Structure 1
Amino acid sequence: MNESLAERRAPGRFDFRTRGVAGVWLRHYTAFKGGWMIEMTGILLEPVFILAAVAFGIGKLVGEVETDDDGIRYAVFVAPGIVVGNAMWHALFECSWGAFRRLQTNRIYDSILAAPVSMRELAMGEIGWGATRALMTTAAVLAFSAATGLVESPWAIGILVIGILTGLMFGGFGLIAAAIAPSTHMLTLVFTMVGTPLFFFSGTFFPITTLPAWVQPIAWALPLTHPVRIARAFATGDLYLSLLWSLLYIIVATAIFFPLATRLLRRRLLV
């Protein structure tokens, strides 16, 4: 495919037009509205079912979980992790599987790049839409958590921001996967070998300190660990300065994933 007109007009390394990014985002939003009732079942019902089963089912058996400072009800412990864990899933799915269909199956990217939209703007719009999906599920599950008494602090509103940041980070990662995947079979591996281990071993369902000593450094290096950690602190009101390191991790990871996704997408399309 030949390079788009917008790509030639915007040779600067960090140049982009807000209108181009918004156009990509709006295209995805319009498609979303066409089947919003079905879409909302995945955004709202699935994570709520998971949270209800784990928090009120397993939570009755577990009781309290010992943390660094004190004990905490298991339902309260697990809720923030499930909230941002689902933000990860939605951003990862939208920017990997969804992006691959637009790239390879439906060839929608060809049409987008024929308009005055650069590759960078395309990537930003894709990741921005992934973050929007992450925000939707974060808001829905957080509202359910608050309504059922699983939130102990007004600081929990900050989890919405963490949901967006989680969406941006994993949206970038998902777009990388879409750009290098030769087929949907590889994307299935991304969910099986990356998404599932992250969901279960990032402190979502149990403290990382319960893992074997040699596994704990690996768990701390996982990208979902840090949104879970910050979200839990917001939910309980137990905020401390070391959370800034987790925030820095998210920002740095996002800053790495985005340009890499853009470069790989350009390599895939402009051939």
Structure 2
Amino acid sequence: MTTRTQARTQPLRRFEMAPVRGIWRHELALFKRYWGSQSFASMVEPTFFLLAFGYGFGSMVAVVGDYRYLDFVATGVVGVAALFTSVFPGMFNGYIRRVFQHTYDAMLAAPVDVHELVTGEALWIAAKSAVYSCTPIIVALFFGLDPSFGMLLVPFIVFCAALGFGLFGVWTSSVVPSINSFDYVITGVVTPLFLIAGTFFPIDSLPQWAQTASRINPLYHAVELIRHAVFGLEPLADLVHLGVVLVFAALMWVIAVRGMRRRLID
């Protein structure tokens, strides 16, 4: 009986941390090989966004609401960085490791189940994103952003948001028919997500239908949480924002595990 047949006929094992730790050791071993190039891209790209929009549009729009435009963009770019540094690794790494490298087949030959594999991969993606995505805040501090204790919450917020988007990427990697199909996802889903999330301009200036779409956009809620953490928390509103981000992550976990299980086992 093959490994896949055995896995298909056995009930789902309970969640164990040992396989997750093993996946993290595997990811860390890989990360030691490419940390330089990945760190450069993950940290420099959002910095360019910040400088281009903050000083480009900032020269024409000095203030947005109660915020200096550079500060408004800096907190928004943190959300954009969280999206990009999580959804793209989830999509491309997930697809390449499943289809071309067969890394996941090798992992499942060990005492690792699909839900543990998906969880370990997503947690690693979210942890890296939580570090890299803080770069715009650090850069903005050198350009006049006032420091606050709430900034210490930003990595936690980014981790929660990146966990959901990383899982979305993993799920996407399990449903696309080819790697070229990611173009549809990037253009049709990822790009609109960060354009209507209040990252570069307030959503109040959008048409009513776009405002409604923004408010069901998990990235919008992550950006609001980041801004409130930096400029001053709003407890009731922030509980709603955090709830949306966590529910999104939980939903993505369920469908990512089902999608990967169907591809790898069923």
Shift, 1:149, TM fit: 2.4
Matched with 1:254 is: 249
Q: In 2, distance between residues paired with 1:80 and 1:8?
A: 48
Name the CA shift for 1:18/1:151 in 2 (closer, same or farther; >3 Å). Answer: farther
- How far apart, in 1, do the equivalents of 2:48 and 2:136 lie? 10
Whether 1:169 and 2:203 are equivalent positions in the alignment is no
Q: What letter corresponds to residue 184 of structure 1 in structure 2?
A: I
Aligned CA distance change for structure 1 residues 231 and 116 (closer, same or farther; 3 Å):
same
CA 1:4 to 1:131, structure 2 compared with 1: closer, same or farther past 3 Å? farther
Calculate the aligned-residue CA RMSD, in Å. 1.9
Correspondence for 2:84: 89
User: TM-score under structure 2 normalisation?
Assistant: 0.93
Which stretch has the larger CA shift, 86-95 or 47-56?
47-56
Q: CA deviation at 1:238?
A: 4.4
Listed one character per residue, the Cα deviations across residues 109-135 of structure 1 (whole Å, up to 9, x for unaligned) are 111111111111101011112102211
Q: 1:28 to 1:7 in 2, by over 3 A?
A: farther
Cα distance in 1 for residues equivalent to 2:111 and 2:211 = 48
Counterpart for residue 154 of structure 2: 159
Is the 2:131–2:155 Cα contact (8 Å) retained in structure 1? no
Q: 1:8 Cα deviation (Å)?
A: 7.4
Matched letter for residue 256 of structure 1: L
Give the counterpart letter for 1:2 in structure 2: T
**Secondary structure in structure 1 of the residue aligned to 2:139:** helix
Q: After TM superposition, give the deviation of residue 32 of structure 1 in Å.
A: 1.4
Please give the alpha-carbon distance, in whole angstroms, between the structure 1 residues aligned to 2:23 and 2:78: 27
2:231 corresponds to 1:236: yes
Cα distance in 2 between the residues matched to 1:214 and 1:181: 29
Q: Measure how far apart 1:185 and its partner are.
A: 1.5
Task: Figure out how many residues of one structure are paired with residues of the other and give that number.
Answer: 265
Aligned counterparts of 1:141 and 1:23: Cα–Cα separation in 2: 32
Task: Give me the TM-score of the superposition, normalised by structure 1.
Answer: 0.92
Question: Is it true that 1:23 corresponds to 2:18 in the alignment?
Answer: no
Would you say 1:223 and 2:195 are equivalent positions? no
Shift of residue 154 of structure 1?
A: 2.1
Say whether 1:78 aligns with 2:79: no
Of 127, 130, 133 in structure 1, the residue corresponding to residue 122 of structure 2 is: 127
Identity %: 32
Uncovered stretches (5+) of structure 2, i.e. residues with no partner: none
Q: Do the aligned partners of residues 125 and 238 (structure 1) sit closer, same or farther apart at CA in structure 2, a change above 3 Å counting?
A: closer
Structure 1 counterpart of 2:63, one-letter code: E
Counterpart residue type for residue 225 of structure 2: I
Q: Does 1:147 align with 2:142?
A: yes
8 Å CA contact 1:6–1:117 kept in 2: the answer is: no
Specify whether residues 10 and 149 from structure 1 end up closer, same or farther in structure 2 by C-alpha distance, changes over 3 A only.
farther
SS in 2 for 1:203: coil
Q: Distance in 2 between matches of 1:177 and 1:200?
A: 20
Change in 2 beyond 3 A, CA 1:88/1:197: same
- C-alpha offsets along residues 164-205 of structure 1, whole Å, 9 cap, x if unaligned? 011111011111101111111221221111111111111101
| Residue segments in structure 1 that go unaligned for 5+ positions in a row | none
State how far apart, in whole Å, the 2-side matches of 1:201 and 1:43 are. Answer: 22
Q: Do the aligned residues in 2 keep the contact of 1:10 with 1:16 (CA within 8 Å)?
A: no
SS of the residue aligned with 2:236?
coil
CA drift at 1:223 = 1.5
- Matched residue, 1:61: 60
- Asked if structure 2 preserves the Cα contact closer than 8 Å seen for 1:6 and 1:116, the reply is no
* 1:241 match: secondary structure: helix
The letter for the 2-side match of 1:30 is A
Amino acid at match of 1:117: V
The equivalent of 1:35 in structure 2 is 34
